[in-house]
């Protein structure tokens, strides 16, 4: 049985006070429930320390939204994997479509980020997903295959086993349009088949693949119930404590 995971990607939202309030609300709510899923919250960099202090209560893990492809040194503005690790960060989102699009992160850079994360024992949550024109042109499998191959398939079996994948169709992010449960199941099965081809059935069967894109308390149950969907990477709805915890409860 694969462990279910629900991760909240806060993106570039909230001031410090609001962020702390959200963490406190999450703790209050999470203390009262028995969850099947592991919870990860991914606040912006400046709030990681605060969130990490609260994570001592062991109700959630902390993920970063970005990581440097470099080890250390003269890289103004960058935050390294070892810095994240030293602050109690356990996970990091890598290859999010927003970073691919707005910050020109290409396969080579993403590979370097994945390597840095793994070298410092930070679990990559590696995002893949096609745009709307790509899906309309029926290129979605090809696009995702390229992203998974170029971003991850240089890893050996031991390294790859530490990676979490998130399928986030770009057209579903922040749009209120989710992939249908069937579309999500189909792509998750496809990703798993690629992993089986590159590694083996056992590795494919153990890899955690999350769904992301307009996940809410209304649609999460059906999405998470699909075979091969191991939970979610939640954006907008992770900024509302009650809804986020509702979503966490639906990952069973």
Residue nearer to ligand 13P on the CB measure, 22 or 204: 22
Binders of ligand 13P among 146-185, rule CB under 6 A? Answer: 168, 173-174
How far is residue 164's CA from residue 49's CA, in Å, rounded to a whole number? 23
The nearest distance, CB 56 to ligand 13P, in angstroms, is 25
Q: Interface with ligand 13P includes 212 (CB under 6 A)? A: yes
Structure tokens at 250: 């639906």
Shortest spacing between CB 48 and ligand 13P, in angstroms: 17
Pairing of β 123-128 and β 231-234: unpaired
Burial string for 22-48 (b: 16+ CB within 10 Å, else e) reads bbeebeebbeeeebebbbbbbbbeebb
Please spell the DSSP secondary structure of 54-108, one letter per residue: HGGGSS-EEEES---SS-SSS-TT---HHHHHHTT--EEEES-HHHHHHS---HH
Active-site annotation holder among 105, 134, 168, 246: 168
Active site annotation includes 96: yes
Helix (H, G, I), strand (E, B) or coil at 15: coil
Q: Which stretch binds ligand 13P (CB under 6 A): 31-39, 104-112, 137-145, 210-218?
A: 210-218
**213 scored as a contact of ligand 13P (CB under 6 A):** yes
Based on the residue annotation, tell me whether 168 is a catalytic residue of this protein. yes
At its nearest, how many Å lie between ligand 13P and the CB of residue 237?
Answer: 6
Tell me which stretch binds ligand 13P (CB under 6 A): 25-33, 136-144, 187-195, 234-242. 234-242
Minimum Å gap between C-beta 201 and ligand 13P is 28
Instruction: Read off φ and ψ for residue 9, nearest 5 degrees.
Output: -100, 105
* Secondary element (H or E) of residue 49: helix 48-54
234 binds ligand 13P (CB under 6 A): yes
Instruction: Tell which one of 214, 228, 250, 251 touches ligand 13P (CB under 6 A).
Output: 214
Interaction between residue 233 and ligand 13P (CB under 6 A): yes
Report the candidate in 215, 213, 210, 211 with the shortest Cα–Cα distance to residue 243: 215
CB 17 within 8 A of CB 242: no
Q: Near ligand 13P by CB under 6 A, which window of 26-34, 46-54, 139-147, 235-243?
A: 235-243
Q: Which is nearer to ligand 13P, 55 or 173 (CB)?
A: 173
Q: Which of 22, 94, 215, 248 binds ligand 13P (CB under 6 A)?
A: 215
Q: Which of 235, 243, 248, 249 binds ligand 13P (CB under 6 A)?
A: 235
Tokens of 224: 């998470």
User: What phi-psi label fits residue 231: left (phi over 0), alpha (psi between -120 and 50 degrees) or beta?
Assistant: left
Which residue has tokens 């694969």?
2
Question: Which residues form the interface with ligand 13P (CB under 6 A)?
Answer: 9, 96, 168, 173-174, 212-215, 233-237
Give me the active site residues, please: 96, 168
């Amino acid at each position: 049985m694969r462990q279910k995971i629900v991760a909240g990607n806060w993106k570039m939202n909230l001031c410090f006070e609001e962020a702390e309030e959200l963490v406190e609300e999450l703790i209050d709510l999470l203390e009262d429930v028995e969850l099947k899923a592991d919870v990860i919250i991914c606040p912006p960099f400046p709030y990681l320390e605060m969130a990490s202090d609260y994570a001592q209560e062991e109700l959630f893990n902390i993920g970063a939204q970005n990581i440097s492809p470099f080890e250390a040194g003269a890289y103004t503005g960058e935050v390294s994997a070892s810095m994240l690790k030293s602050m109690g960060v356990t996970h990091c989102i890598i290859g999010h479509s927003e970073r691919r699009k707005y910050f020109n992160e290409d396969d080579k850079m993403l590979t370097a980020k994945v390597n840095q994360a793994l070298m410092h024992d930070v679990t990559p949550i590696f995002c893949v997903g096609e745009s709307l024109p790509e899906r309309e042109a029926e290129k979605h499998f090809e696009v995702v295959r390229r992203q998974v191959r170029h971003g991850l398939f240089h890893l050996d079996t031991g390294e790859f086993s530490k990676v979490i994948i998130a399928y986030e169709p770009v057209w579903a992010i922040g749009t209120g349009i989710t992939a249908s449960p069937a579309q999500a199941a189909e792509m998750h099965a496809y990703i798993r088949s690629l992993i089986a081809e590159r590694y083996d059935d056992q590795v494919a069967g153990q890899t955690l693949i999350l769904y992301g894109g307009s996940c809410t308390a209304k649609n999460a149950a059906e999405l998470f119930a699909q075979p091969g969907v191991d939970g979610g990477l939640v954006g907008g709805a992770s900024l509302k404590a009650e809804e986020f915890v509702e979503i966490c409860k639906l990952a069973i």
